[in-house]
Amino acid sequence: MQAAEIPDTMQAMVMERPQTPLVLKTVPTPVPGTEQVLIKVIACGICRTDLHILDGELTSPVLPLIPGHEVIGEVVLTGTSVKKIQTGDIVGIPWLAHTCGHCKFCSQGQENLCEHALFTGYTVNGGYAEYILAWEDFCIAIPPIYANSGGAPLLCAGLIGYRCLHLLPEHAINIGIYGFGAAAHIITQIAKYQFKSIYAFTRPQDGKGEMFAMDIGAVWAGSSLEAPPIKLDAAIIFAPDGSLVPIALSHLDKGGAVICGGIHMSDIPGFTYESLWQERMIRSVANLTREDGKRLFEIAPKVPVTTTVHYFSLAQANEALTALRTGQLTGAAVLVM
Ligand SMILES: [Zn+2]
Ligand SMILES: [Zn+2]
């Protein structure tokens, strides 16, 4: 596409204030800075983090905001200093939009914790739009099998899920997952490929969710109020419910870990030291690094990971968010432009 073919304005779903629906607006098409590229959005996945932003539980959005951080798109214009990416390339844009490169955390290989990080669809505009800007160095190369709308959920559900899996103790074989949504359905496939066993915990009375988990490859599925048939080596919690932390901890074997994969969670109730004793641990996973992106897109085509996706148009973003909120979806919701 020549620059002349790029329209001056675009359609976008815009967050004006917390706790109000998104508004479909015509806004100026952004212009890339020297190190940025302009991307025509093919699809943008919907993440639970988007709900936390819209609900005001994450308190620092730059308003008015275009949400969305699971973007697959085609590069249509490049800034003057861009060298590695060309127009026509299909790239992915994740939550991590930019880091400073020189703070304590960037210097020690923890750019996910950068003091000055920018986040797509939170502190810079995201992919609920026809076009989006991204920094060249933070675009993720997408293998051909994911260069389409079905690849969108890998850009956050996949990335954060894989980071959680990757940070488990090395010996962990029997792994519980609380909250069987978009992230869980991706990493269950990867865990199975790695000869690990997934125990899926769903909302009480969610027979459909249990069946979905078994279809995807879990070895056991049940309600989060049930005990698994064996002690678990680890548990990953994607549901934003802090009461699940002591429950998951109570099902861990010695040396096991509970990983909290969400960006926001309700308060965690108290628990006895005895339940943590024997080198059990609890940790959170925050954001992602570019290395996580490389690792995920190396392993996903080998599995190969497939995504279960429910498609919505850009204008249907509010409906898609409601479907996610009320637990109506098995798999992931994706906006297609
Ligand atoms: Zn996300
Ligand atoms: Zn930094």
Reported in sequence order, the residue ranges of the chain that DSSP labels E, i.e. its strands, are 9-14, 23-28, 36-46, 71-78, 90-93, 96-98, 118-119, 131-135, 140-141, 174-178, 197-202, 220-223, 232-237, 252-260, 281-284, 309-313, 332-336
Condensed to tens digits (0 to 9), the pLDDT of residues 31-63 reads 999 999 999 999 999 999 999 999 999 999 999
211 band by pLDDT with thresholds 50, 70 and 90: very high
* Residue entry with tokens 């973003």: 317
Query: How many A from CA of 3 to the centre of ligand 1?
Result: 31
User: pTM for this one?
Assistant: 0.94
* Ligand index nearest the alpha carbon of residue 117: 2
* Ligand index nearest the alpha carbon of residue 101: 2
Query: How many A from CA of 292 to the centre of ligand 2?
Result: 17
| Ranges of each domain in the chain | 3-155+307-336, 160-284
* Ligand index nearest the alpha carbon of residue 159: 1
Q: Which two tokens stand for residue 113?
A: 């914790």
Query: How many A from CA of 48 to the centre of ligand 1?
Result: 6
Condensed to tens digits (0 to 9), the pLDDT of residues 196-209 reads 999 999 999 989 99
CB atoms inside a 10 Å sphere around CB 328: 11
Residue 329: predicted pLDDT:
87
* Ligand index nearest the alpha carbon of residue 115: 2
Mean pLDDT of the chain: 96
CATH number attached to the domain at 3-155+307-336? 3.90.180.10
Contact 169, 184 (CB under 8 A): no
Contact 218, 85 (CB under 8 A): no
Distance, CA of 159 to CA of 165 (rounded, Å): 10
Query: How many A from CA of 49 to the centre of ligand 1?
Result: 5
pLDDT score of 309 more than 90: yes
Query: How many A from CA of 335 to the centre of ligand 1?
Result: 14
| Mean pLDDT along residues 13-18 | 98
Query: How many A from CA of 333 to the centre of ligand 1?
Result: 12
Q: Among residues of the chain, what percentage have pLDDT more than 70?
A: 99
Fold of 160-284: Rossmann fold (3.40.50)
Distance, CA of 156 to CA of 257 (rounded, Å): 22
Can you tell me whether residue 63 is helix, strand or coil? coil
Query: How many A from CA of 278 to the centre of ligand 1?
Result: 33
pLDDT score of 3 more than 80: no
Condensed to tens digits (0 to 9), the pLDDT of residues 70-124 reads 999 999 999 999 999 999 999 999 999 999 999 999 999 999 999 999 999 999 9
